[in-house]
Amino acid sequence: MPELQELNMDDIHDMMTDPGMRAEKQAEDTMPTGTYSAKPADRVAAFKQEEVDGDGTPLGTERIFIRFGGNAKRADGSHAGRYSFMASPMKRHNKPDKNGRVRLDNASALWADILGAFKLDETTPVGMVVEAAKAYEFRVKIAQIFKTTEGWRTAKDADDAKQYIEQGFEPRSVVRSIYPAKA
């Protein structure tokens, strides 16, 4: 093996990183769009955040979030990657969409999905919901998304994702829905 030679940091100060390296690594660390079995959450943490309006003005309220994380596996049982998502038992809505529909925001929708996945209702204490997610498997629907110049786009398949990566857009995997584990 060739010997390492020490360099002067001034000599490489203006050197640039090879193009595409970060996007390629991000692609390795993300899961393709699909539904995966989620092992019970092995990381759970609670957070609170001051709420602000669209202009960043504090509303004088706080919202509680629970972050869940764990390992996901493919249908054949092989390791697919790690999942992580934030859910909130405090209901909030997105702004109306172009058709005027007002929907739960992602954190509220995921909390509602967790309740449904474990056949719990809104009277179930938050702690019991968290304990269920830490004790039992469930399924997560993952979307591999890319921030493009036109906004966020979801890769429909591996070829679609490859094109986004080749264009230099970094992928991110997000949990879109939660379902009961398959029997």
Quick one: pLDDT at residue 132?
Answer: 94
In a domain, 107, yes or no: yes
Q: Is the pLDDT of residue 94 over 90?
A: no
Q: Is the pLDDT of residue 173 over 80?
A: yes
Rounded CA-CA distance 90/86 in Å is 12
Strand blocks (E) in 2-137: 34-38, 43-52, 58-73, 79-87
In a domain, 5, yes or no: no
Domain that holds residue 54: 20-180
Strand pairing partners for 147? 152
Quick one: pLDDT at residue 183?
Answer: 66
Q: pTM value?
A: 0.76
Q: Is the pLDDT of residue 118 over 80?
A: yes
In a domain, 12, yes or no: no
Query: pLDDT-based confidence at 54, cuts 50/70/90?
Result: confident
Rounded CA-CA distance 41/28 in Å is 22
Query: pLDDT-based confidence at 1, cuts 50/70/90?
Result: low
In a domain, 145, yes or no: yes
Position 55, amino acid: D
Pairing between strand 58-73 and 34-38? antiparallel
In a domain, 87, yes or no: yes
Other residues' Cβ atoms within 10 Å of the Cβ of residue 10 = 7
In a domain, 13, yes or no: no
CA 148 to chain centre: 17
Rounded CA-CA distance 71/182 in Å is 16
Quick one: pLDDT at residue 162?
Answer: 86
In a domain, 11, yes or no: no
In a domain, 7, yes or no: no
Rounded CA-CA distance 13/173 in Å is 33
What is the average pLDDT value for the chain, to the nearest integer? 85
Q: Structurally, how many domains does the chain consist of?
A: 1
Better-predicted residue by pLDDT, 53 or 17: 53
